[in-house]
Structure formats: structure tokens, C-alpha cells
Amino acid sequence: MNTSKTLGDDAEKRAKAFLLAEGLEFIEQNFRVKVGEIDLIFKQQNQWVFVEVKYRSNAEHGVAAEYFTPSKRSKMNRAIMCYLQQHNLNLHHTSLRIDVIAIDDKKLTWLKNV
């Protein structure tokens, strides 16, 4: 039986493979701090790409992208600030964006710069 953690890990693996195939450079996975977490971190040319992966096996309670809530966005923003600080990257001089990989059962959608 698949647990939520197993399903989430599988979704992250699928998202990572997809983004690698799209030509992004993988940097880190599951960056966690007290204020939040970042599922995947990539670079695309000179831009940092912070990725949230959302998975739903069915649409009974909504589609995956709907689960990237304002609260989740806020936690992710705080985690990004910690990441930048820990890696000596200046927020005002670092090109970055937040993407969401929404996986609804077999369908993967890449939402850029949310």
C-alpha cells in the first residue's frame, strides 16, 4: 500500500526527471528549515528555480495545483529567504522564480513563475 510519503516521494522523482529532461540543472532536493521547505531547487541558465511539487491521485478534493495555497506560498517564501542567506546569495541581485509541478494522477503540469 502506498503511503502519502511514498506517493509524495514518487511525485518528486517524476517532477525532478521531467525538469532534468527540460534542460534545468538540478541543485538540491528537500531543503528544510523551521519556517518551511522547498521540494526541488534547480537553475535554468542564471535563474534559480524553486519548485513545489503537488500530487493528487484523483480530483475528488480538487486538482493538485489548487493545493499551492497562499499559506504554502508564504512558507516557501520564508524557506527561500533562508536558502539564499545560507548560500550567500543576495535577494536583490539573484534572479529567481517559483514554479509548481502539479501532478494529477498521470497528468503533469508545469506552472512557471507562480
b/e code 38-56 from CB counts within 10 Å (16+ = b): bbbbbebeeebbbbbbbbb
Q: Is the dihedral of CA 48, 19, 112, 57 positive or negative?
A: negative
Owner of C-alpha cell 542567506: 85
How is the beta sheet containing 96-104 ordered, strand by strand? Answer: 25-33, 36-44, 47-56, 96-104, 107-111
Q: Is the pTM of this model over 0.85?
A: yes
How many whole angstroms separate alpha carbon 57 and alpha carbon 105? 4
How many whole angstroms separate alpha carbon 9 and alpha carbon 73? 20
pLDDT, one tens digit for every residue, the chain (114 residues): 567 778 778 999 999 999 999 999 999 999 999 999 999 999 999 999 999 999 988 767 778 889 899 999 999 999 999 999 999 999 889 999 999 999 998 899 999 999
Domains and CATH numbers, the chain: 4-111 (3.40.1350.10)
pLDDT at residue number 87: 96
